């Protein structure tokens, strides 16, 4: 089997995907029309032209604006459903999906409107084709810890449906330590913990996420390579890093795909995985990330298989399900 077919068809998990970041321009324009939201673009070409980011913040400004077209339960259902159909097409047999409640509750959308839409789509995909999933509720780090605590409280009725808490949004100036109390409370309530760190922020933010937030995984983490002691610890503990190659290129974390350090990270023994982050904003879904690595980095079949195996090992699935998916990958 050629490498393109192999990476496209191999069973894989996705562990770093923001559902609000899967809003395709067509859906954004349709929902804007439905709700009478005026967008600063009138054509798809204009939308694509706006997706020319200089850094994380320039993307986040558009991302939060785009999410403002999501208003009623069916909008949240449709958004989630469209991503789950991609999972089926790309053989993403398990996905751990991040969502940002504050992006909606801060503009007056009720937590349960969002949640019922998302869960409706997830349960339907589970029933129709056995889609495996977990949910990660992220706190926006540019907001206060008090706001994160409020969000944790709103999630209580849905605590059986939410597996983990995470930390996203503008990294620089918002170190992990700002959220140590709310992460401790979330862990106490039984949630797993993850955090974005070392995307734009320095290695100190990765140390902070490990030591102050007790996270089980680091989202991005590419800047760990600037600190040998940190790399040694991440290798020793096999702390997963959910790396997002196309995102890193589009947000200027690296210049070009050929400069991306993901295969160096793999060689060092880090537990790295491949993920799409915010696919339409960054040029593609999970398979597009693998294909970009084939083209830009010469990704080989054994490396692709290792990355897919890592995605199951790094997941929050129980041991039996991990072994099941690893077995499916082995016999693929
Ligand atoms: N929210 C959505 N995508 C993000 C990213 N790449 N970094 C931080 N926050 C985000
Ligand atoms: Zn992210």
The string over 264-303, giving b where at least 16 C-beta atoms fall within 10 Å of a residue's C-beta and e elsewhere, is ebbebebbbbbbbbbbbbbebbbbbbbbbbbebbebeeeb
Element (H, E) at 274: strand 272-274
pTM: 0.98
Q: Which residues line ligand 1 (CB under 6 A)?
A: 18, 21, 56, 63, 168-169, 196, 199, 247, 277-278
Ion ligand 2 residue ranges (Cβ < 5 Å): 277
Any residues with CB less than 8 A from the CB of 137 and at least 6 apart, and which? 98, 99, 101, 151, 155, 162, 164, 165, 166, 191
CA of 99 to the centre of ligand 1 (A): 11
Q: Report all structural domains of the chain as residue ranges with CATH numbers, in order of start.
A: 3-331 (3.20.20.140)
Token pair belonging to 317 = 């699935």
Per-residue pLDDT of the chain (332 residues; tens, 9 = 90+): 999 999 999 999 999 999 999 999 999 999 999 999 999 888 999 999 999 999 999 999 999 999 999 999 999 999 999 999 999 999 999 999 999 999 999 999 999 999 999 999 999 999 999 999 999 999 999 999 999 999 999 999 999 999 999 999 999 999 999 999 999 999 999 999 999 999 999 999 999 999 999 999 999 999 999 999 999 999 999 999 999 999 999 999 999 999 999 999 999 999 999 999 999 999 999 999 999 999 999 999 999 999 999 999 999 999 999 999 999 999 99
Any residues with CB less than 8 A from the CB of 215 and at least 6 apart, and which? 183, 193, 194, 195, 197, 209
Q: Mutation test of ligand 1: which of 252, 277, 289 has the most ligand atoms closer than 8 Å to its C-beta? A: 277
Give the ligand whose atoms come closest to the C-alpha of residue 55: 1
9 is catalytic: no
CA of 168 to the centre of ligand 1 (A): 5
What does the alpha-carbon distance between residue 188 and residue 12 come to, in Å, rounded to a whole number? 31
CA of 320 to the centre of ligand 1 (A): 31
Q: Catalytic one among 199, 200, 229, 319?
A: 199
Give the ligand whose atoms come closest to the C-alpha of residue 172: 1
CA of 58 to the centre of ligand 1 (A): 11
Q: Mutation test of ligand 1: which of 14, 60, 61, 62 has the most ligand atoms closer than 8 Å to its C-beta? A: 60
pLDDT tens digits, one per residue of 257-316: 999 999 999 999 999 999 999 999 999 999 999 999 999 999 999 999 999 999 999 999
DSSP, collapsed to helix, strand or coil, labels residue 272 as: strand
Residue nearest to atom 9 of ligand 1 (CA): 169
Residue nearest to atom 10 of ligand 1 (CA): 169
Residue nearest to atom 8 of ligand 1 (CA): 169
Q: Mutation test of ligand 1: which of 14, 15, 16, 63 has the most ligand atoms closer than 8 Å to its C-beta? A: 63
């Amino acid at each position: 089997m050629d490498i393109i077919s192999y990476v496209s068809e191999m069973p894989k998990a996705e562990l770093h995907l923001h559902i609000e970041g899967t809003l395709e321009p067509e859906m954004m324009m349709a929902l804007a029309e439905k709700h009478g939201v005026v967008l600063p673009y009138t054509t798809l070409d204009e939308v694509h032209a706006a997706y020319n980011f200089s850094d994380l913040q320039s993307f986040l400004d558009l991302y939060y604006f785009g999410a403002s077209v999501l208003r009623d339960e069916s909008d949240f259902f449709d958004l989630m459903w469209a991503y789950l159909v991609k999972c089926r097409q790309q053989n993403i047999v398990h996905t751990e999906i991040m969502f940002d409640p504050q992006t909606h509750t801060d503009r007056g959308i009720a937590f349960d409107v969002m949640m019922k839409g998302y869960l409706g789509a997830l349960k339907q995909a589970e029933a129709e084709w056995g889609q495996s999933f977990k949910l990660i509720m992220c706190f926006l780090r540019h907001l206060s810890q008090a706001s994160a605590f409020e969000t944790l409280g709103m999630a209580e009725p849905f605590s059986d449906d939410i597996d983990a808490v995470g930390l996203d949004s503008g990294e620089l100036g918002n170190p992990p330590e700002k959220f140590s109390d709310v992460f401790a409370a979330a862990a106490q309530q039984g949630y797993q913990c993850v955090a974005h760190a070392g995307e734009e922020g320095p290695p100190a933010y990765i140390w902070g996420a490990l030591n102050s937030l007790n996270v089980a995984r680091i989202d991005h983490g590419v800047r760990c390579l600037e600190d040998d002691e940190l790399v040694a610890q991440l290798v020793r503990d096999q702390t997963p890093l959910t790396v997002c190659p196309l995102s890193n290129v589009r947000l200027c974390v690296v210049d070009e795909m050929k400069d991306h350090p993901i295969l160096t990270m793999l060689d060092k023994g880090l537990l790295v995985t491949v993920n799409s982050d915010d696919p339409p904003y960054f040029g593609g879904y999970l398979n597009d990330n693998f294909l970009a690595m084939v083209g830009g980095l010469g990704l080989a079949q054994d490396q692709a298989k290792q990355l897919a195996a890592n995605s199951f090992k790094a997941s929050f699935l129980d041991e039996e399900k991990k072994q099941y998916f690893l077995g499916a990958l082995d016999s693929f």
